[in-house]
Amino acid sequence: MKTTRTFVITLLFLLSITTQSFTSGNREPSGSSSASVNGKITYLEGEVLLNSQPAEIGDPVKSSDTLETGAGAFCEVIFEDANIFRLDELTITQINWTESDIVLTQGGISAVFNKLDKLIREMKDFTVTSPAATAGVRGTVFYARVEDRDNTYVCICNGELAMEYGEKNMNIAAQHHKAYRYTKKGGEVSWTGAAMLYHDDPKMEGIASKIGYVIPWVKSESGY
């Protein structure tokens, strides 16, 4: 009886070790997914909603969260300590860290994206998507606004964007602002050059300063 009991205890012990080893071997390493991306509201003024609830400074911004700003309001979000975007008043956007995308459905966004390594996978750009065009970025200062359901304004302030509109694409680059308007009409999307609207150097420099970044402007003789 003693021998049999010893054998059973030993067998149970071995099974326990085997089970623990199997479970440990299949556990995903912590921090391996974009769910670990650190986004946080660092400043706001006026009525700002996070998932339809009043937002506060310090609130985390997670994947699939929706941010909305009311009249006269704005909101700033810093993620991965080296990237910042600011939502203008009357803006609605959804944050999709897992898809490396920000969906802008209404209003305007100013962005200084200085380090996107954690959000870029398989050579796919981090994107800002609007109804008329999608901007792919890797490290850029830009402004985008949904003017209405058919028109999206985009200014590459300093850096480069890979634009997709309809079935077409184009790369745009500037050292000191170059703006375009993308227009949907009859199932097609076209673009035209545009003036610098909705933003200026002091606004973009002020946003950049929040992450300790100095925009390396190279101005033309006309200043634009």
Q: Is residue 147 part of a domain?
A: yes
Once rounded to an integer, what is the mean pLDDT over residues 86-115? 96
Q: What is the pLDDT of residues 11-69, one digit of tens each?
A: 344 334 444 433 334 333 333 344 478 899 999 999 999 999 999 999 999 999 999 99
Q: Between the CA of residue 40 and those of 43, 59, 120, 132, what are the distances in Å?
A: 9, 6, 19, 28
Max CA distance (Å), the chain: 98
Q: Is residue 68 part of a domain?
A: yes
Q: What is the domain-level CATH number for residue 63? A: 2.60.120.1440
Q: Residue 183 belongs to what domain range?
A: 34-209
Task: Domain count for the chain, please give it.
Answer: 1
pLDDT score at 219: 85
For strands 126-129 and 101-113, give the pairing: parallel
pTM: 0.83
